[in-house]
Amino acid sequence: MDSRIETQKPLGAGEEPAMDPPRARLVALAAQRGVSLAALSALLGRNAAYLQQFVRKRSPRKLEENDRRTLAEFFGVDEAELGAPVRETVLTVASAGGAGQGVRTADWADIPRLPLGASAGPGTMAQDLAPIDRLRFSGRWLRQQGLEPGMLSVIEVEGDSMEPTLRDGDEILVDRSPRPLRSGLHVIRLDDVLLVKRLEPGAAGTVQIISDNTAYPRMERPRADVAVLGRVVWKGGRI
């Protein structure tokens, strides 16, 4: 992509007011990544001036949902930073006297569910990464866990080598944030195969690759052979 970023000229008397937060955030994110608004417009399948007009001329007034989601995923940020409305739901709970009172909940993050399986058995190939749908998580809960929505994805477990921790068909939430390797469940690519395994740092630059199901042997491989794609931070499945 073009590494240049269009800059905004200083405003003078009678000119348009300062950019609102979503527009200013878009410009800042583009500058941080070293990508131009024209290149981002091309990413959206729009003409080269689309985002420049959005920023400078406020046309369109707000980004379309699909465009906003694509940009949020590209930058690894929450859609709210680019102007997404906060989704709010009012729940009614019964008080001791039987009367209902409103409890306001808000701030949800829709995490993409990818059409691939992280094998907990022989292994599957990772191919198409376009989301097939999304799972909704509380934004507040994600923040409490130190998780950034733009760095998360949901995939399905295939196979039985991680039983009883993970079972065939379980859904796992994977955090792709770059972090130092530490013991725990991770999604890895090994020999071009996508796997979910327990990792433990080994001696002399090696990694222990462990199946929780004792019927499967553990492996030890050089750290350079193991591409760690993300850490498993949550699981869900049928009872």
* Domain boundaries of the chain, sorted by first residue: 21-82, 108-236
Domain covering 108-236 in this structure, CATH number: 2.10.109.10
Which of the four pLDDT bands, split at 50, 70 and 90, describes residue 79? confident
* Cα gap 108→86, rounded to integer Å: 8
Which of the four pLDDT bands, split at 50, 70 and 90, describes residue 92? very low
Q: Give the mean pLDDT of 63-78.
A: 85
8 Å CB contact between 72 and 78: yes
Q: Is 196 exposed, middle or buried (0-12, 13-18, 19+ CB in 10 A)?
A: buried
Position with higher pLDDT, 89 vs 226: 226
* Cα gap 224→72, rounded to integer Å: 31
At 8 the pLDDT is 42
At 18 the pLDDT is 67
Render pLDDT for 4-38 as a digit per residue (tens, 0 to 9): 444 444 444 444 556 788 899 899 999 988 889 99
* Mean pLDDT of all residues belonging to the chain: 79
CATH architecture for the domain at 21-82: Orthogonal Bundle (1.10)
Render pLDDT for 138-191 as a digit per residue (tens, 0 to 9): 888 998 899 988 888 899 998 899 999 999 999 999 998 888 888 999 999 888
* Cα gap 188→56, rounded to integer Å: 43
Instruction: Single out the residue of 156, 148, 71, 70 nearest to residue 114, CA to CA.
Output: 156
**Residue 125 CB coordination number (10 Å):** 11
DSSP state of 224: G
Instruction: Single out the residue of 191, 192, 228 nearest to residue 207, CA to CA.
Output: 228
Q: Give the mean pLDDT of 83-90.
A: 59
Helix or strand run (H / E) with residue 143: helix 139-144
Measured in degrees and rounded to the nearest 5, phi and psi for residue 31 equal: -65, -40
% of the chain beyond a pLDDT of 70 = 77
At 162 the pLDDT is 93
At 124 the pLDDT is 47
